[in-house]
Amino acid sequence: MSIRVFLADDHQIVREGLRTLLEKQPGMEVVGEAKTGREAVQLVQGLLPHVIIMDIGMPDLNGIDATRQIVAKTQSVKVIALSMHSDKRFVVEMLKAGASGYLLKDSAFKELAQAIRAVMVNRVYLSPKIADLVIKDYIRLSPKTEFSIFSLLTPRERQVLQLLSEGKTTKGIGSDLQVSVKTVETYRHQIMEKLNIHSIAELTKYAIREGLTSLET
């Protein structure tokens, strides 16, 4: 049986490159692609891949929250993060969200193929380039809380913040999330209070700095 792989990355050239390389691997097939986190959540439910290669910095919904939603609905699926972020916060949050692996985008393709086969037999695969950086902190589970956007805000608040920082209007966000304008305004107020930030411009800077979104959307 072939390993069914799904690609989630907002850069088409990355998706095309991965598809070409993966389909040359014996026993692997690419069954779908998504350019946003939200699109990935929607498509995966119907395509039922075995493994998802997930970018972290995507528009509409970041890869961490997309992973959390996908794993909650389809626990058998394996998610491997493929990201340019080597910061241990991203690795830890991705693993907490339910990912089974984490690779950097400058890893060799051979490593990605190894990671796919590893997670298929229920192993966690961390790129050697980042394992030394994060594994001690992740195992030790320090009692000290390390505050980040993922501990300060709820998943829905993060989604609203990401959409705000990407230039969506309150009305547009309400339409996307199927909630009222008043509800979006309430979320925005809660976000500003929790972060002690009181302008959209500063919220956008914060979202970019925390890796929730990027300048390229």
State the 10-residue block means of pLDDT for the chain, 217 residues long: 94 93 93 96 94 94 96 93 86 92 85 94 88 65 61 91 93 94 95 92 88 67
**Whole-number pLDDT of residue 88:** 80
Burial 95-119 (b: 16+ CB within 10 A, else e): bebbbbbbbbeebeeebbbebbbbb
Q: Which of 140, 164, 185 is the last residue of a domain?
A: 140
**Whole-number pLDDT of residue 217:** 43
**Whole-number pLDDT of residue 136:** 64
**Whole-number pLDDT of residue 102:** 94
Q: How many domains does the chain have?
A: 2
Asked if the structure places residue 183 within a domain, the reply is yes
Contact predicate 4/29, CB 8 Å: yes
**Whole-number pLDDT of residue 146:** 57
Kindly report the CATH number assigned to the domain that includes residue 189.
Answer: 1.10.10.10
- Note down the domain range covering 179: 149-209
Angle, CA 187 vertex, CA 213 and CA 172 arms, to 5°: 65
**Whole-number pLDDT of residue 141:** 55
Structure tokens at 32: 């779908």
**Whole-number pLDDT of residue 100:** 95
Asked if the structure places residue 217 within a domain, the reply is no
DSSP structure class, residue 217: -
**Same domain, residue pair 20 and 126:** yes
Q: pTM of the predicted model, to two decimals? A: 0.76
Asked if the structure places residue 153 within a domain, the reply is yes
**Same domain, residue pair 121 and 174:** no
Residue with tokens 């950097």: 104
Contact predicate 6/47, CB 8 Å: yes
Angle, CA 192 vertex, CA 190 and CA 193 arms, to 5°: 65
**Whole-number pLDDT of residue 107:** 79
